[in-house]
């Protein structure tokens, strides 16, 4: 955490504390099909964040009274490993994890043809092994890959990214130092890039509408980059076999 | 299992909203009537009951001395709890809060915390040792939709009335107060539901059953926002979000006059 | 096993890997499986292979759970006995009911059967017919979406597999392969090879070479 009385210049000569430009993502690595026992899976590294996702289903939703005869359910479980934060995290899921699980699952629902699977559930299990701001965005981006890897019919991939403000500057993909700025605003946002629909949007911090306009534009540009990386990761699963040939 | 009755009722909601109408004859951007009863609990340090249409929420605040977080030794903090009482709806169950109640509590917490309306430094009694923790606990006692806004109004109304208890030997002296808690801003959530592709403010329960998506925006005054939360399975375009933001500024301005 | 029209494995056409939401064509084409239309354009709904020169817009998925379809030949295992029959696990979302009257042999827990899918309802539950009971043998699990390649055009791959391993063999569309006698270890290796390279051409030739002990380049 940044020291309270220490003045940090969050953007200096166009560069941020970690050397990135205002509209630059941290380095990202994606891989699909990493867990043989899951129907679909993905591993994602996003800066220091490390995320593993496994998808099971569609399968019959149990208990039966949770079933929806019109469409399948997405049951998203977001958890952080005890060692994934500076202090040891209590292994019991907290309120934050419950809320993130709820909104992340909802962020994926629109992208899936859930009407094909009445009374069924798609279980998405996600574990964060290391974190440094933006783990829910990393989680949704990875989960969308795992669902595609599971062969579950989708309208589009879902990309998520954080945008916000630090030291008065609107920036893309905040890291922990930037998230701890005194005037920090953090906006996780998930987008279906093809139709430009927003499926997750949260914010905390003080923000004007003009600033939001600027931030949302940055978010859409960031998600376009993410979508390309996702497509590449999915194709790569099959292209590697070709190279071996 | 989804109550099949809702499906019949939501069909009606959808057909009305398609024509720009609502069952209670409100306009799409109009709120239900709001009534606020102050000081509903003498034991609380500040309390209020809010009725938003038929949605009813009780809120009470307790100030408790506690130890500060090690990373913020000179700051107190707030804590927001929300309970969807089993008597508020047949769908709510007895037991620890489920994800719906947790989301509600966290979004109301976010709106108040991020608005910086309570100066956490002013809650410090002795740095590194003793600070005030402001517990804001809310109970939804009748659920007819839009618990987010009703709870946020109730929490703010209660917060505005909070008296700081007197401390002697680091213990609270019952019934004696040293003054009012300073509330510098009036943060409020304002929620819009997307139903049949249209934006509908302050949804009722049956409208919520019909909604594809929900968006709440917290505002502190006429220009500054402090929280967003999108919920449910559907999506918004960026233009729709902009429209929701404009409505939040407009509607919260009116509600702020009542609190 | 018969091939369905929209699942024909076309070995000579150019194919590309597509991802969910990717544009397949903006021309008017007949629609096959795993595509959807939005504003007059055709998109893929899954990670799979698309054939741009085909007159039908369709995608062959590269992964995914088995969902029963009419006339599929499947392998099942009895998992629960009921008063007048049994529930058969078919490696899908739901198990199927099998009446004891419909088979001559006694159904017991763990009995392996083959059957054809008669009808499927909108919740993906299936009715079976033409049930046969198997004695002995083993079950090999494979990726359901790769099964058509394990059968091949007019069963060409299946013949190659049978010949090369000496196994008595039945490939269920649901991703379960029943095998008895012969070199089943070799069969498993051959099936894994097909799974790994299902999206490449000349697979039959390659598998044939593998089974004959030749080096696959």
Shortest Cα–Cα distance, A89 to chain C (Å): 35
Q: Looking at the predicted structure, is the pLDDT value of residue A1 above 50?
A: no
Q: What is the predicted pLDDT for the residue at C8? A: 45
Q: Any chain A CB within 8 A of the CB of B63?
A: no
Average pLDDT, chain B: 94
Mutation target for A interface from C26, C31, C47, C121: give the one with most A CBs within 10 A. C47
* CATH code of the domain in which C49 resides: 2.40.50.100
Q: Is C195 exposed, middle or buried (0-12, 13-18, 19+ CB in 10 A)?
A: middle
* CATH code of the domain in which C109 resides: 2.40.50.140
Of B106, B220, B233, the CB nearest to A106: B233
Residues A153 and C35: their CA atoms lie apart, in Å, by: 9
Shortest Cα–Cα distance, A199 to chain B (Å): 5
Shortest Cα–Cα distance, A111 to chain C (Å): 9
DSSP B85: -
Give the residue-averaged pLDDT of C38-64: 94
Mutation target for A interface from B238, B241, B245: give the one with most A CBs within 10 A. B238
CB B176 within 8 A of CB B124: no
Tell whether C66 is covered by a domain.
Answer: no
Q: Do A60 and C122 touch (CB under 8 A)?
A: no
Inter-chain CB pairs, A–B, below 8 Å = 104
H-run or E-run covering B195: strand B188-195
Residues A76 and C67: their CA atoms lie apart, in Å, by: 23
Which residue among C88, C116, C134 closes a domain?
Answer: C134
Pick left, alpha or beta for residue A151 (phi over 0 → left; psi -120 to 50 → alpha; otherwise beta): left
Which residue among C91, C110, C134 closes a domain?
Answer: C134
Q: Residue A154: its chain C contacts at CB < 8 A?
A: 20-21, 45-46
Q: Are residues C26 and C83 in the same domain?
A: no
Which residue among C134, C164, C184 closes a domain?
Answer: C134
Q: A210: Cβ–Cβ under 8 A, 6 or more apart, which residues?
A: none
Q: Do B227 and A204 touch (CB under 8 A)?
A: yes
CB B100 within 8 A of CB B88: no
Q: Residue A156: its chain C contacts at CB < 8 A?
A: 20-21
- Closest residue in chain C to residue A72, using alpha carbons only: C123
Tell whether C68 is covered by a domain.
Answer: no
- Closest residue in chain A to residue C202, using alpha carbons only: A245
The pLDDT confidence band at residue A8, using thresholds 50, 70 and 90, is confident
Q: Residue A96: its chain B contacts at CB < 8 A?
A: 106
**C-alpha dist (Å) from residue C71 to A87, C122, C129, C145:** 58, 16, 9, 16
Q: Do C124 and A148 touch (CB under 8 A)?
A: no
Q: Are residues C184 and C157 in the same domain?
A: yes
Of B114, B116, B237, the CB nearest to A196: B237
Q: Are residues C146 and C129 in the same domain?
A: no
Q: What is the predicted pLDDT for the residue at C4? A: 47
Q: Looking at the predicted structure, is the pLDDT value of residue C10 above 50?
A: no
The pLDDT confidence band at residue C202, using thresholds 50, 70 and 90, is confident
Q: Do C21 and A155 touch (CB under 8 A)?
A: yes
B4-258 fold = Ribosomal Protein S5; domain 2 (3.30.230)
Shortest Cα–Cα distance, A87 to chain B (Å): 11
Q: Do B220 and A206 touch (CB under 8 A)?
A: yes
Nearest to B232 by CA among B203, B259, B255: B203
Mutation target for A interface from B190, B226, B233: give the one with most A CBs within 10 A. B233
Query: Domain spans of chain A?
Result: 24-244
Total of domains in chain C: 3
Give the structural domain span for C189. Answer: 138-211
Render pLDDT for A97-141 as a digit per residue (tens, 0 to 9).
999 999 999 999 999 999 999 999 999 999 999 999 999 999 999
Question: Is the N-terminal amide bond of C139 cis, ω within 30° of 0?
Answer: no
Render pLDDT for C182-196 as a digit per residue (tens, 0 to 9).
999 999 999 999 998
Q: Do A192 and C21 touch (CB under 8 A)?
A: yes
Q: Are residues C128 and C148 in the same domain?
A: no
Q: Do A153 and C124 touch (CB under 8 A)?
A: no
Q: A87: Cβ–Cβ under 8 A, 6 or more apart, which residues?
A: none
Q: Looking at the predicted structure, is the pLDDT value of residue A16 above 50?
A: yes
The pLDDT confidence band at residue C2, using thresholds 50, 70 and 90, is very low
CB B191 within 8 A of CB B110: no
CA B74 to chain centre: 27
Q: What is the predicted pLDDT for the residue at B41? A: 93
Q: Are residues C118 and C156 in the same domain?
A: no
Q: Residue C36: its chain A contacts at CB < 8 A?
A: 113, 155
Q: Any chain A CB within 8 A of the CB of C129?
A: no
Q: Residue A192: its chain B contacts at CB < 8 A?
A: 235
Q: Do C17 and A234 touch (CB under 8 A)?
A: yes
Shortest Cα–Cα distance, A10 to chain C (Å): 37
Give the residue-averaged pLDDT of B70-85: 94
Q: B74: Cβ–Cβ under 8 A, 6 or more apart, which residues?
A: B68, B121, B124, B127, B128, B131
Q: Do A151 and C200 touch (CB under 8 A)?
A: no
H-run or E-run covering A123: strand A120-130
Shortest Cα–Cα distance, A134 to chain C (Å): 25
Question: Which CATH architecture group holds A24-244?
Answer: 2-Layer Sandwich (3.30)
Query: Domain spans of chain B?
Result: 4-258
Q: Are residues C43 and C93 in the same domain?
A: no
The pLDDT confidence band at residue B2, using thresholds 50, 70 and 90, is low
Q: Are residues C166 and C129 in the same domain?
A: no
Shortest Cα–Cα distance, C10 to chain A (Å): 18
Q: Any chain C CB within 8 A of the CB of A229?
A: no
Helix (H, G, I), strand (E, B) or coil at A42: strand
Q: Looking at the predicted structure, is the pLDDT value of residue A237 above 50?
A: yes
Q: What are phi and psi of B163, to 5 degrees?
A: -105, 140
């Amino acid at each position: 955490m940044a020291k309270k009385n220490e003045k940090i210049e969050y953007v200096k000569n166009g560069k941020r504390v970690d050397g990135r430009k205002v509209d630059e993502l941290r380095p990202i690595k994606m891989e699909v099909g990493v867990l043989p026992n899951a129907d679909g899976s993905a591993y994602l590294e996003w800066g220091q964040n490390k995320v593993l996702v496994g998808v099971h289903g569609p399968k019959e939703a149990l208990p039966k009274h949770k079933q929806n005869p019109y469409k399948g359910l997405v049951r998203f479980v977001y958890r952080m490993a005890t060692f994934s934060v500076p202090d040891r995290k209590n292994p019991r899921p907290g309120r934050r994890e419950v809320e993130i699980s709820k909104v992340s699952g909802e962020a994926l629902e629109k992208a899936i043809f859930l009407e094909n699977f009445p009374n069924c559930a798609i279980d998405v299990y996600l574990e964060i092994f290391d974190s440094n701001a933006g783990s829910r965005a990393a989680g949704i981006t990875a989960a969308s890959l795992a669902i595609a890897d599971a062969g579950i019919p989708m309208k589009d991939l879902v990309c998520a990214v954080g945008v916000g403000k630090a030291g008065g500057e609107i920036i893309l993909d905040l890291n922990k130092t930037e998230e701890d700025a005194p005037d920090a605003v953090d906006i996780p946002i998930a987008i279906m890039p093809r139709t430009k629909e927003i499926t997750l949007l949260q914010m905390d911090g003080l923000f004007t509408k003009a600033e939001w306009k600027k931030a949302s534009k940055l978010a859409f540009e960031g998600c376009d980059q993410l979508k390309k990386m996702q497509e590449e990761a999915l194709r790569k699963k099959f292209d590697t076999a070709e190279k071996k040939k | 299992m989804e109550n099949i009755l809702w499906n019949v009722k939501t069909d009606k909601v959808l057909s009305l909203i398609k024509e720009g109408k609502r069952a209670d004859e409100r306009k799409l951007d109009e709120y239900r009537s709001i009534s606020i009863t102050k000081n509903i609990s003498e034991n609380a340090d500040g309390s209020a009951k809010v009725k938003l249409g038929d949605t009813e929420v009780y809120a009470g605040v307790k100030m408790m001395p506690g130890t500060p977080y090690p990373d913020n030794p000179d700051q107190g903090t707030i804590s927001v709890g929300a309970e969807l009482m089993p008597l508020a709806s047949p769908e709510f169950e007895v037991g620890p809060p489920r994800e719906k109640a947790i989301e509600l509590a966290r979004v109301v917490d976010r709106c108040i915390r991020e608005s910086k309306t309570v100066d956490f430094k002013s809650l410090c009694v002795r740095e590194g040792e003793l600070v005030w923790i402001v517990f804001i606990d809310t109970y939804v006692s009748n659920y007819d939709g839009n618990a987010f806004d009703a709870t946020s109004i109730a929490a703010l109304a209660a917060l505005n009335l909070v008296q700081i208890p007197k401390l002697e030997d680091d213990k609270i002296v019952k019934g004696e107060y040293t003054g009012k808690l300073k509330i510098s801003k009036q943060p409020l959530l304002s929620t819009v539901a997307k139903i049949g592709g249209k934006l509908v403010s302050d949804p009722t329960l049956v409208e919520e059953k019909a909604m594809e998506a929900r968006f709440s925006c917290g505002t502190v005054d006429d220009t500054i926002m402090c929280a967003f939360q999108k919920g449910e399975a559907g999506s918004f375009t960026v233009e729709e979000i902009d429209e929701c933001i404009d409505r939040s500024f407009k509607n919260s301005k009116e509600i702020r006059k009542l609190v | 096993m018969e091939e369905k029209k929209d699942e024909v494995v076309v070995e000579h056409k150019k194919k590309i890997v597509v991802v969910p939401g990717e544009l397949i064509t903006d021309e008017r084409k007949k629609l096959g499986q795993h595509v959807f239309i939005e504003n007059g354009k055709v998109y893929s709904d899954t990670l799979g292979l698309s054939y741009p020169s085909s007159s039908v817009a369709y995608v062959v998925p590269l992964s995914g759970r088995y969902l029963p379809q009419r006339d599929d030949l499947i392998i099942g295992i009895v998992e629960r006995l009921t008063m007048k029959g049994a529930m058969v696990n078919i490696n899908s979302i739901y198990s199927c009911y099998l009446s004891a009257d419909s088979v001559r042999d006694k159904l017991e827990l763990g009995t392996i059967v083959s059957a054809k899918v008669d009808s499927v309802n909108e919740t993906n539950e299936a009715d079976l017919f033409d049930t046969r009971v198997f004695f002995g043998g083993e079950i090999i699990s494979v990726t359901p979406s790769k099964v058509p390649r394990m059968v091949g055009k007019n069963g060409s791959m299946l013949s190659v597999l049978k010949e090369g391993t000496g196994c008595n063999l039945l490939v269920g569309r649901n991703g379960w392969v029943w095998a008895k006698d012969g070199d089943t270890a070799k069969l498993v290796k051959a099936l894994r090879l097909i799974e790994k390279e299902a999206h490449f051409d000349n697979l039959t030739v390659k598998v044939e070479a593998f089974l004959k002990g030749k080096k696959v380049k």
